[in-house]
Structures are given as structure tokens and as C-alpha cells.
Amino acid sequence: MTPWISDRKQLAMDNLNGLRDALNETRDITKKRLDYLEWEDYFMATAFLAAKRSKDPVTQVGACIVNEDKIIVGVGYNGMPKGCHDDEFPWNKKTEVDNDNKHLYVCHAELNAIINKNSMNLKNCTMYVVLFPCNECAKAIIQSGIKKVIYMSDKKASKIKTVASKRMFEAAGISYQQFIPRSKKILIDFDEINN
Ligand SMILES: O=c1ccn([C@H]2C[C@H](O)[C@@H](COP(=O)(O)O)O2)c(=O)[nH]1
Ligand SMILES: [Zn+2]
């Protein structure tokens, strides 16, 4: 690293530590913390954290299913099915060879979250998902009993699959709503517990 870059990095770290110390000094440890994660941010962040497990080089999706008691009952991300090694199956989508396309193989985040469920059923559950579900996932969501979908990105809104998903959700009485986060970023600092 060039010396001035490392100096700037050190300066930024010192500033950050200074800020944290200042915050700790002003924090009243006899009162309830106010900067805790809201439930909704917690569930969406769980979906985003799951997405970090994805090996897809273009789009990483994560999904988190929550029951009526605010208990997480399923988490998933997009990845190759069991037994289909992600070093052997293709991650490419623009290919001359028809069967060398990831879309033929990848198991979608929503489906994985549904399959990974650790409760009897998903009746009246809510799914938090990074990207609006495709039509195949919409079918699985509807059939599973999930009643609400909270999504972050609708960047594929004009695609026919997304249009079909919305049509099915509306017909099946599944509500969907775009997520508005309380804060744009959530930082996880593994060192925090030592301070
Ligand atoms: O509902 C969905 C839709 C897509 N995915 C996954 C499937 C693929 O791994 C990527 C999409 O790849 P692109 O390169 O953006 O076409 O996202 C999903 O998990 N759930
Ligand atoms: Zn899908």
C-alpha cells in the first residue's frame, strides 16, 4: 500500500475510534439503548447477510422468512442445488453452449428459504427478500402459505417474470411492499464486543 494511503486509513480509523469513545462516554448505561435494530431492519439485514453466501458473480439474493411471533423460520440464498458443486456448474449466463447457463441450475433464494424452513408450515409468514421474487419463486411463496413479501429492490420490475409474479400475488391475496430501511447501512464490527 502507498504510504499516504495507509496514513489516511490510519487517520480514518483513529477518527472512528475517537467517535466511538465519545459515544460510549455519553451513553447512559442505566437506560435502554436507543440505537438498537428495529425488527424490520433486522429481518431485511438477515436476508442481506444470507445473500453474502451466494457465489453468483452478478446477483446475490437472500431471503428471510418470519412467522407471526417475529421468529425467523427460514433463511436462504441463491446457489447450486445440493450435489451440484459450485466449482463445476456454470455461473455464466451469456454462453454459446445452451446447457452452460447458470439459470438452468441455480436454486433461488426464496425457494431455498422455503425448503430450509424449521417450522411445520409457513402459514401467514412474511418473507423479507433482497430482490422482488421471480414468477417461479412467486408460485412457491403462494403455495407455502406466506402472506406478505417485503422486498428491497425492484430493479427487474419491467421483466415479464416480475410482472407475472405481481399478477399472481394480487390474485392470491399476497401483499407486497418495498422496504424502507431506517438506516442505509448496518456495520458489523467483530471487534465491538471487546470495547
Ligand atoms: O427470484 C429470484 C430471481 C433470481 N434469483 C437468482 C438467480 C440467479 O442466481 C440470480 C439472477 O442472476 P442474473 O445474472 O441477475 O440474471 O438471482 C433468485 O435467487 N431469486
Ligand atoms: Zn426466483
The predicted-structure confidence for 114-151, as pLDDT tens digits, reads as follows 999 999 999 999 999 999 999 999 999 999 999 999 99
pLDDT digits (tens, 9 = 90+) for 5-31: 566 666 666 666 666 666 666 778 999
Q: What is the mean pLDDT of residues 153-180?
A: 98
Ligand 1 atom index nearest CA of 134: 1
Q: What is the average per-residue pLDDT within 37-42? A: 96
**Ligand 1 pocket: which residues have CB below 6 Å?**
56, 58-59, 61, 78, 93, 102, 106, 108-110, 131, 133-134, 137
The CATH number of domain 37-178, selected from 3.30.360.10, 3.40.50.2300, 3.40.140.10, 1.10.357.10: 3.40.140.10
- Under DSSP, is residue 73 helix (H, G, I), strand (E, B) or coil? strand
| H helix and E strand count, the chain | 5, 5
Which protein residue's CA is at the shortest distance from atom 7 of ligand 1? 108
pTM: 0.88
Nearest CA to 146 out of 167, 116, 125, 175 is that of: 125
To test ligand 1's pocket by mutation, which of 111, 131, 159 has the most ligand atoms within 8 angstroms of CB?
A: 131
Three cell numbers written together for 151: 422486498
DSSP sequence for 133-150: --HHHHHHHHHHT--EEE
Q: What is the CA(72)–ligand 1 centre distance, in A?
A: 22
DSSP 182: S
Mean pLDDT of the 161-183 span: 97
The per-residue pLDDT of the chain, averaged, comes to 92
From the CA of 21, how far away is ligand 2's center (Å)? 45
In this predicted structure, what is the pLDDT of residue 18? Answer: 66
Q: Domain spans of the chain?
A: 37-178
